[in-house]
Every structure is written in C-alpha cells, then in structure tokens.
Structure 1
Amino acid sequence: MKSLRSAAICALAVTFAFTRAALAANALPPYHGDPSQTSVSGLSSGAFMAVQYQVAYSGSVVGAGVVAGGPYYCAAGNILNATICMGQVPFVPPNPALMVTAAAGFASLNQIDPLSNLKKARIYVFSGTKDTVVHQQAVDATVSFFEEAGVPQSNLLYVNSVPAGHAFIAPSFGNVCSDNAPPYINHCAIGKKKYDQAGALLKQIYGTLNPPAHSLSGRILPFDQREFATSATGMADTGFVYVPKSCDQGAACKVHVAFHGCKQSAAVVGDDFYANTGYNYWADTNNIIVLYPQVNASTIPFNPDGCWDWFGYTGQDYALKSGSQLTAVHAMVGRLLDKP
C-alpha cells in the first residue's frame, strides 16, 4: 500500500511539474541560425517523422538520423499497413520502389521538394538486432528507399549489427542494450566502447565535430507550441529546445530537430528524451540548437500512444509540406533561424 501511495504521489508530482512548465512556457525565441545546416533525427514514429521531414523539405535539410524507422509514405495513409511498415509481417517487407514512385508524384505536384535534392543529403540509419517493435526488414527498406531516391551510397551509413532493442542509444543512460521497454533509451557498447548514437548520427550528417561537452553551458527552454499547432494536430501544448551559450550570444548556429518516439513525450518520460539522450552535449560544443517538438497521446485525433503521424491520423496530407505536423515543425525551425 505504501509503495502504491508513493507511486501515486510521484505521478502527481510529475503531472504538476509539467503542467507548471506548460503554463510557464513562453514563445519560441528567434536566434541567428544558419539556414543551410538544418537536420533531423528520431526514434520509431519519430524516425518515420524524420524521414518525412527530410524528404518533404529536402531543399533545406542536409541530413537525417533514422533510428528504427521505416521508409517514406510507407503506410500510404492507412493504419492497416502499419504492421508491414514496422516489419512485423514475416517475409512481407515494405516495397521501397512504391514509396519512391509516390514521392516522385508528390514532388511533380510541388507538394514536397524535388527528390533531386536528396543527392546531397547525408543519412544515418540504425536497426538493433534485438528490436521486436520495428524489425530489420522494415529498416532495410528505409535504406533501399533512400538509395532509390538518389542518396549516394557514400552518403549513407547503416548500422545494423548492434544487439540493441527498440530504443535510442545513449552513452550512460537508460535500460540494458537489448531491452524493448520504456523509456526506450538504452545503453550499449561496441567492443569496450560505449555507443553514443547522438554523436554518431550528428557526425554522419555534419562531418567532423568538436568532442561533446563534459558539462553543459546552455539551457533547456520550454516553449508554447500552440503558436504553431492547434490541439487538432495531436501536438502538445509545450515543446522544448536546447540552446548552447554560444547561440544565446549570437553565433550563427545550426538547427537539429530530434523527434521522440511513441510513449516518449515529456508527459510520459519527463526529461529523459530531451535531456538524457546525449544530443545536448554535442550541440553545446558545435553551435547546434536542438529542437524537441512534442506529441502527446490523444483521443481526438485518435493517437493513444502519443506517436508522430506517419499513417494519416491528422489527414491524408500528413507526409506532405501541407501536413499539419510537418508545417508546425517547419515553422518552429524557421523561427529559430530568424535573426532577431
């Protein structure tokens, strides 16, 4: 009984803390950003979202990190296709050629940027061998999609031999490597070296970077997402952004968007994703602002697990530049790049 009472008190404390943060959230500030250096990444539904953002806005996005995510427009707006897109149907992987054809059609109608932009994109893809949620045959299709869409093999890094479960891999935080469990952040080692996924994907996108900070100089800011997205989009009231001290002081900074996975928003896991995945330590020493937009579970729209929309719950244009979530995040990036 005491343990149940303690758990209830903790849950109320977390709810109160995030309610207070939402009430205290201010408008997203503008910074002196570099519009030629925007990138994205994500886990699970966030990985699907990162693929959508990279493809839809390929003219302004230099690269993407895809951790346990399927190819662009895989579900084709139908939730019934989700199990195939997650690789959960044995011997029936997603067909990347169909998705490239769909993307080319959208591009011909100016609904997304031209696919020719992907020739210069730099892509990191990861699939753990112990992932029981998004299986490797789905992630294999993501790699094939990017290849068929024009990304040179020299610009693609596919990491698919780490015995990781369904999770983002942080150097020193979370569950053991093989877990497929909340908060969907694991720690793994390759040989005797801790695997730092944030650093791996950011280096794949940007090339040589300064080593990560030992301690952070910047600050995590909550901000009001309602300026960019109504509740009908499924997006939460409050998002978060990490701003290095150099960016606060006027440096021309890159913007990286990190999309959480299902059941991984701040309302569920607190600051685990936006504070403990390792992004901020790399950002701090490399003039990178990290945007952590948030989606919460909802009944209207029907999104019980708090996933980013990769199958059409916000409307059939979800994977296009007119899609409500893509539009909202793009506007947030635009704000961060707007010199005050």
Structure 2
Amino acid sequence: MKSLRSVALCALALSVAFSFTQVAQAADALPSYHADPSETSVSGLSSGAFMAVQYQVAYSASVIGAGVVAGGPYYCAAGILVNTTICMGQVPFMPPNPALMVTAAATFASTNQIDSLSNLQKARIYVFSGTKDTVVHQQAVDATVSFFEQAGVPKSNLLYVNNVPAGHAFIAPSFGNVCADNAPPYINHCAIGKKKYDQAGALLQQIYGALNPPAHSLSGKILPFDQREFAGAATGMADTGFVYVPKSCDEGTACKVHVAFHGCKQSAAVVGDDFYANTGYNYWADTNNIIVLYPQVNASTVPFNPDGCWDWFGYTGANYALKSASQLTAVHAMVGRLLDKSQTQ
C-alpha cells in the first residue's frame, strides 16, 4: 500500500510539474499585429474599472473610450488608503467629490504627467452601476459620471446604466451567478425585460458605435503571454497575461485593441478562465476585428495587495495614476506591442 501511494504521489508530482512546464512554455512573448493605433479602448470591473478610468485619463490622446463597471472617479483615493471607503461609496452621505479629482487631473496634465484633458472631449464612455451592488455603491459611480462630464466629455458621449438590479459583477449573457449576487467570480447574468443583458456588447458599442452581432463560435484563440517582459514582480502583476486574437487579426486585418481589466479576486489565478473566456468580450471581438488584451494582477504581500486588485489607491507608489505608474506603463507597453507589426516574430 505504501509503495502504491508513493507511486501515486510521484505520478501526481510529475503531472503537476508537467502542467507548470506546459504553462511556462505556452507563455511566450506577446506577439505583434497590424492593429489600428486610433482604435484603442479600455474597460474593467471594480478595481479594473478604476484602472480603466486611470488609463483613459492618463493616455487620453491614444484611447478613444472606456467602459466603467462599478468604478469610481480618477485619482479618487489620492494615494491614501483610508480614502478608499469614500471612493467606493461606502460612507453614507459622503460621496466622492469629482471636482477635486478634475482639479488634480488638470494639474497633472499641466505638468505633462498625463495627457491633456482636452482629449476627453472626443472620448466615448460607458458607465454601469447595479442597484444591488453592496461593494461599490451608486453614489461613487455617480461621481464617476460627474467627473467625466466636468473633465470635458460631452453628455452625448456618456451612457450611464444605473437601473439594472445587479450586484457587484460584470454582466454576461449566459454565465455566472444570478443578477443580484455580490459573490465570486463576480460575473452575473441579468435580464432587462425578457432580454439577456450583454454588457461586453453594450460597452463596446457605446465606444465604437454599431457593431456586427457577436459570433456563435470563435474563430480565433486565447494566447497566454509573458508579462514579465513588461512588468517586474514589484508591480504586483502576474507572470502571465492573456490576449484573444480573432482569426482575421492573426491574418493581417488592421484590428482595434481593447483592454479588459479584471476586478479584485478575479485574476486567472483565482477564477481560471472565467473572466477572459466567459464575459462575452471575445464573441463580439471575433466578428468586429477587435483584439482583447487581458492583463493580470495577482494577490501579493510585496507589494501588499491581498485581494489581487489593480492599483487605484497607491500600493505601487505615489505616481500610481500617472503615465509613469508601473502598472499603467506596463499595460501601455503591451498595447504598443500589439500595435507594432514590425515586432512580429
């Protein structure tokens, strides 16, 4: 019996080692494609929504729009951890003050630490807050809408969806928890009337305009890639990121690039492929020539980030919301790689 157990344990160890070897071998360098530099956009849930706002504002000259699902305004925490409860709308009758964030952003822009706020006059923004969200409350998301308006985004370019009885989650048409849940994997399914709500499609069409219907089956593939080329361990970012590449983009079509930021406790290390395979982005991307980048950040002790959140309050440094921030810089470099056909291996 002992020998059998030893053999079984040995086989298990070899299997695990082989699996890790496969992952390591699969995580090659991020390829380059013939992507269109004028068609880059971002979106995210929760900490990923805060990150999408930061990326949109910091790189507004090269980002045409953002989808913000349960996220607060730019630079809300101002690098101070105790401010996060206000920024998540968890302090009754004390919502974030978007005017202060616009002033901060204007100051950063005046010293070229972020792009000019005038670029936001052309941005197209989708914002969502579920009425049953108990993590990031609507008063915080209301402030996000107000921030963008005060920063120059025309009201005609803003779509705010705040009447769906959803919990704290990204809304996929046919995957995840029931609509009102506030629970892992933070992907829910909801219906408006009798129609399934497709959040990926809603935000992508707000950003890009009318799109072809989503694919029924995917022509492309999800590729793991080595994030360490772009971000050291001190950034809190994971070893491996993911990218969905439609067949058309792989064959040379000039494609758009969309960056989808997961939320806290929602990286691949925690929820597997739930976020990068089951949120619906890829099906819209497949029929509309969109490459979807899924960068990853994991829980860590150094830097201290126990829930695997994107840095929207300063755990990587005081410059976390500026173009010089380690996570923003890393993701921007990934986008640059996707846009640079000359780097194709």
TM range (shorter): over 0.9
The 1-side partners of 2:199 and 2:316 are apart by: 30
1:166 aligned partner, one-letter code: H
User: Where has structure 1 moved over 6 Å in runs of 4 or more?
Assistant: 13-16
Deviations 1:129-156 (A, max 9, x none): 0000000000000000000000000000
SS in 2 for 1:291: strand
1:3 alignment partner in structure 2: none
Q: How far did 1:339 drift?
A: 1.2
Number of residue pairs the alignment of both structures matches:
329
Residues 261 and 307 of structure 1 are in contact (CA less than 8 Å); yes or no, is this contact kept in structure 2? Answer: yes
The 2-side partners of 1:226 and 1:168 are apart by: 27
2:112 alignment partner in structure 1: 110
**Match of residue 246, structure 1, among 245, 248, 251:** 248
1:166 alignment partner in structure 2: 168
The 1-side partners of 2:16 and 2:66 are apart by: 32
1:177 aligned partner, one-letter code: C
Q: How far did 1:226 drift?
A: 0.2
The 2-side partners of 1:43 and 1:19 are apart by: 31
Q: How far did 1:24 drift?
A: 2.6
Q: Where do residues 151-300 of structure 1 align in structure 2 (5 Å cutoff)?
A: 151-300=153-302
- 1:332 aligns to 2:331 (yes or no): no
The 1-side partners of 2:17 and 2:66 are apart by: 32
2:311 aligned partner, one-letter code: D
1:9 alignment partner in structure 2: none
SS in 1 for 2:61: coil
Deviations 1:218-275 (A, max 9, x none): 0000000000000000000000000000000000000000000000000000000000
SS in 1 for 2:259: strand
* Structure 1: gaps spanning 5 or more residues: 1-12
* Structure 2: gaps spanning 5 or more residues: 1-14
The 2-side partners of 1:16 and 1:332 are apart by: 28
1:138 alignment partner in structure 2: 140
1:128 alignment partner in structure 2: 130
Q: How far did 1:19 drift?
A: 7.0
2:265 aligned partner, one-letter code: K
Residues 27 and 224 of structure 1 are in contact (CA less than 8 Å); yes or no, is this contact kept in structure 2? Answer: yes
2:279 aligned partner, one-letter code: T
Change in Cα spacing, 1:86 to 1:25, as seen in structure 2 (3 Å) is: same
Q: How far did 1:20 drift?
A: 4.0
Q: How far did 1:16 drift?
A: 8.1
Change in Cα spacing, 1:16 to 1:199, as seen in structure 2 (3 Å) is: farther
Structure 2 length-normalised TM = 0.94
The 2-side partners of 1:31 and 1:276 are apart by: 24
The 1-side partners of 2:140 and 2:82 are apart by: 15
Residues 132 and 165 of structure 1 are in contact (CA less than 8 Å); yes or no, is this contact kept in structure 2? Answer: yes
Return the index of the structure with the highest Cα Rg: 2
Cα root mean square deviation, aligned: 1.4
SS in 2 for 1:282: helix
Q: How far did 1:17 drift?
A: 5.2
Q: Where do residues 281-320 of structure 1 align in structure 2 (5 Å cutoff)?
A: 281-320=283-322
2:80 aligned partner, one-letter code: N
The 1-side partners of 2:241 and 2:159 are apart by: 29
Structure 1 length-normalised TM = 0.95
**Match of residue 44, structure 1, among 35, 43, 46:** 46
SS in 1 for 2:57: helix
